[in-house]
Chains A and B, each alone.
Chain A
Amino acid sequence: MAEIRLEAVTKNFGDTTAVANVDLTVRDGEFVVLLGPTGAGKTTTLRLIAGLEKPDEGRLFIGGRDAAPLSPAERDVAFVFQQYSLYPHLSVYENLAFPLRSPVRRRDEATIRKTVERVASMLRIEKKLQNRATRLSGGEMQRVAIGRALVRSPSIYLMDEPLSSLDAKLRSDMRLELQHIQRDLGATMLYVTHDQIEAMTMATRIGVLDHGRLVQVGTPREIYEAPRNVYVATRLGMPSINLLPAAAFAGQPMPPGAATIGARTEHVVVGRTTQGRSAAAKVDWIEHLGDQNHLHLSLGEHKLVTLVDPDMALSVGDAVDLSLKGALYFGADGERIAA
């Protein structure tokens, strides 16, 4: 296990900058999740660390050592690709044994067998070991891909959306499984996803990427409660944060300079009675989720989505009063202003 440190790393592909001046330290044993939409530079960051791409600028250290002269094999990282990349001409067993048979970390066959069987049973694919890698379901392939990383004890695990093609049930199982594995091994892990639930539940720290720039790094709680700007605020939260111009809640006390109100569902208080500092809204639509209802509201020309208790008897067209409780405020430049 080792610490990874990126110092002002930049990578361009032609005219586009995939990774821009990123500083990031993944501490030993830490589970860091990089969050961002497609094209934010998440995968490129992983590939730079793995040595599959060379940075145009900046430096990269693995376990305190400058990684620049090291080949991918010498960096001692494990990489789980989004596309599985199982070797199609090999069986599941041979796929899992492949890293252990490499010239740089050759093990004897008995050790290989033991390791492969241990990992296979951990991932519940022990019955599939003799199958061809192509004769598996998507979920099984993804588990083999994860298993190929787990047979080794690399200095860092790099995972590129490893759960993206699993169904919802298997995904939540694997999410727990990965957290246990990470904790048991004390593994350093850098994990890329655009799924905010994965980021929130698994990460020690989250790094939010936007067009190659690392906008904010912090614990899931920090990112959720104290986003640096509007962009970070919109990355987390279900339903996503409501962004309203400050004028929509003219009666509310606001920090000076606030141009935009960021109201998460817990910041929005829906009431029937008219109170002092509230605004009147109309119910547009209600989605019943069982334990909760999604309430679609219009406040003047603005739309909001919030969660309400299903006990609250509302129907489409009802007028409700809205007030804010501890909302986030952003200036005209999109940066957050402390309330």
Chain B
Amino acid sequence: MSGASTTAHSVVEPSANSKRLAGFLVILYAVVSMVPLAWIFATGWKTPPDSISYPPKVVFNPSLEGYCNLFTTRTRQTAEYIAALGAPNGECDEVTRRREMVIAGASNYLPRFANSLIIAFGSTFLAVSLGVFSAYAFSRFKIPLADDLLFFILSTRMMPPIAVAIPIYLMYRALGLSDSALGMILLYTAVNVSLAVWLLKGFIDEIPREYEEAAMIDGYTRLQAFFKVVLPQAATGIAATAIFCMIFAWNEYAFAVLLTSGQAQTAPPFIPTIIGEGGMDWPAVGAGTTLFLIPIVVFTVLLRKHLLRGITFGAVRK
């Protein structure tokens, strides 16, 4: 910093130049990390030839073909057969016929997407619920071997979850949990619950016991005090934990490939299979990925305000 730029600001206030530099770096990082997302988003609106053209097309005529192909299955037909059909029924019909194909039915994308929603929300709810009760117990009660138990819980995260894929595969097959939503919910819950316990224990430790004690004296049981006093104050921690659990369960690929194939298949293993259906259908993959991103973005945005800490501070004198 140059001595000449001394202003009336406090000494801890960064100078205008360092703020500008910081802003530039943040924007640069944001742009770099947004490029793949923008690429996927754009690919979803390209035609298949545009999507594989070299050099890549930045400016192109948007087409619905990717989204049409994502939601439909199609069969190839002769030109004569297509010409004999009546007027096309909507945009997708028209786009499909241009490729000498007709729509044969709906694709599996929507059911797979629904599976993802059920499994991700289900496992997040379970992991956070179990986590918040366990964390409260670890935080407030004298539990024999509490430190060892907490270490054991954490140790389940010390290897990549996929390291135990084969035993889990065999176990699930024996238990009939393969390719079931329940199996996937239990699996993701098991992986996430350790994270949830540790994160939430930190948040609950910071809530002074006096609140529950005051509530218990005011005529509530411990459980009622937990719901009325502890949970509202742990909202920030619960939201943060839920986002982390949700992101893991939503994006998980390896277990989903291994353990689901039909009924309970989630969107991540389904999307790559689109590529194989009738050539390299990158626009459909781009479209599927774009839609797949929406729920997690909405979920994060909805919970974002709870992530801002500090709103509950100050009512207990320290």
**Contacts from A to B (Cβ < 8 Å):** 50-52, 71-73, 75, 77-79, 81-89, 98-99, 102-105, 133-134, 138, 141, 148, 152, 165
Contacts and interface: CB of A to CB of B under 8 A. Distances in A.
B211 to A, nearest CB: 6
Interface pairs A-B: 8 shortest CB-CB:
A102-B219, A88-B315, A99-B218, A85-B210, A104-B219, A72-B216, A89-B232, A88-B312
A104 B311 CA distance: 31
Interface string B200-244: 000000001011011111111100100001001100000000000
Interface of B: 208, 210-211, 213-221, 224, 229, 232-233, 311-318
A9 B208 CA distance: 27
A72 B213 contact: yes
Contacts of A165: 317
Nearest to B214: A85
Contact of A99 (B213, B219, B221, B232): B219
Contacts, number: 86
Contact of A105 (B219, B229, B316): B219
B217 A98 contact: no
A104 B305 CA distance: 35
A102 B220 contact: yes
A85 B219 contact: no
Where chain B touches its partner, the secondary structure class is loop
Contacts of B233: 88-89
14 contacts: A52-B216, A52-B217, A72-B216, A72-B217, A73-B218, A78-B217, A85-B208, A88-B315, A89-B233, A89-B312, A99-B219, A103-B219, A103-B224, A133-B315
A71 B221 contact: yes
Nearest to B210: A85
Contact of B315 (A84, A99, A152): A84
B210 A83 contact: yes
A82 B318 CA distance: 10
A79 B210 CA distance: 10
Nearest to A104: B219
Nearest to B232: A89
B213 A85 contact: yes
B218 A98 contact: yes
Nearest to B315: A88
Contacts of A81: 210, 213-214
A99 B208 CA distance: 19
A30 B263 CA distance: 73
Contact of B217 (A73, A82, A83, A103): A73
A88 B314 contact: yes
B314 A84 contact: no
Contacts of A88: 233, 312-316
Instruction: Select the residue from B208, B217, B221 with max chain A CB neighbours within 10 A.
Output: B217
A86 B219 contact: no
A273 B208 CA distance: 62
A83 B219 contact: no
Nearest to B213: A52
A71 B220 CA distance: 10
Contacts of A103: 219-221, 224
A139 B167 CA distance: 62
A71 B223 CA distance: 13
Contacts of A82: 317
B313 A134 contact: yes
Given A85-B210, A89-B232, 10 more contacts: A73-B217, A73-B218, A75-B217, A79-B214, A84-B315, A85-B316, A88-B316, A99-B219, A102-B219, A103-B219
A206 B216 CA distance: 28
A321 B80 CA distance: 132
A163 to B, nearest CB: 13
Nearest to B220: A102
A239 B312 CA distance: 42
Nearest to A165: B317
Contacts of B314: 88, 134
B125 to A, nearest CB: 22
Given A71-B221, A89-B233, A104-B219, A141 B214 contact: no
Contacts of B216: 51-52, 71-73
Contact of B221 (A73, A134, A138, A148): A73
A71 B219 CA distance: 9
Contacts of B313: 88, 134
A67 to B, nearest CB: 13
B226 to A, nearest CB: 13
Nearest to A154: B217
A73 B220 contact: yes
Contacts of B218: 73, 98-99, 102, 148, 152
Contacts of A52: 213, 216-217
A77 B217 CA distance: 7
A105 B251 CA distance: 49
A52 B218 CA distance: 12
A179 B218 CA distance: 23
Contacts of B220: 73, 102-103
A138 B315 contact: no
Contacts of A152: 218
A35 to B, nearest CB: 22
Contact of A134 (B210, B214, B229, B312): B312
